[in-house]
Amino acid sequence: MQDYESLLKRARDNLPDNISEHQRFQIPEPDVIYEGKLTIIRNFQEICDTLSRKPEHLLGYLLKELGTGGNMEGRRVIFKGRIMESRIRNRVEEYANIYVICSECKRPDTSLARDGRTLILKCSACGAHRPVRVHKATS
Ligand SMILES: [Zn+2]
């Protein structure tokens, strides 16, 4: 009679490769610290590198969405005001979903191209492309 452990192992071994953990795309957690009335993301450059996007582009998005001012300083970004870490994390994930992740294969191996007035997200992993849907700012 087989024991539970080996049954479990066999079930795991039968999982298809594409849902195994190591293939999931992970955005680095924003490393946020506060100094007085400033909010600092210490690993901003690393986040941009992982997403393969220009820091200025992500920064522009965050400033608009968070409704604050700020600038890069070396590998860090400094925002004016205290911004909750969870808000920053949510916005970074939102950015990735809009500008980076392929909606077909969920991989980040994409690039942006302009087609007339439309920004197109092209996936080099599966060949899919879609227009970038930028929601209208309400504030
Ligand atoms: Zn794709």
Ligand 1 midpoint to CA 103 (Å): 7
> Is residue 23 very low, low, confident or very high in pLDDT (cuts 50, 70, 90)?
low
**CA proximity to 107, closest of 127, 92, 131, 91:** 127
Within the chain, where are the H helices? 4-13, 44-51, 55-66, 85-99
- For the segment 26-48, what is each residue's pLDDT rounded down to a tens digit? 899 999 999 999 999 999 999 99
- For the segment 98-123, what is each residue's pLDDT rounded down to a tens digit? 999 999 999 999 999 999 999 999 99
Ligand 1 midpoint to CA 4 (Å): 38
pTM comes to 0.78
Please determine, for residue 19, whether its predicted confidence score (pLDDT) is greater than 60. Answer: no
Residue 1's pLDDT is: 59
Ligand 1 midpoint to CA 42 (Å): 30
Over the chain, what is the mean pLDDT?
Answer: 88
Beta bridge pairs of residue 111? 122
Residue 17's pLDDT is: 54
Ligand 1 midpoint to CA 25 (Å): 13
Ligand 1 midpoint to CA 106 (Å): 6
Ligand 1 midpoint to CA 131 (Å): 13
Residue 81's pLDDT is: 97
Cα–Cα distance for residue pair 81/63, rounded to 1 Å: 12
SS (H, E, C) 85-104: HHHHHHHHHHHHHHHCCCCC
Please state the domain extents for the chain.
Answer: 28-100, 104-139
Residue 85's pLDDT is: 97
> Given this structure, which CATH class describes domain 28-100?
alpha beta
Ligand 1 midpoint to CA 87 (Å): 27
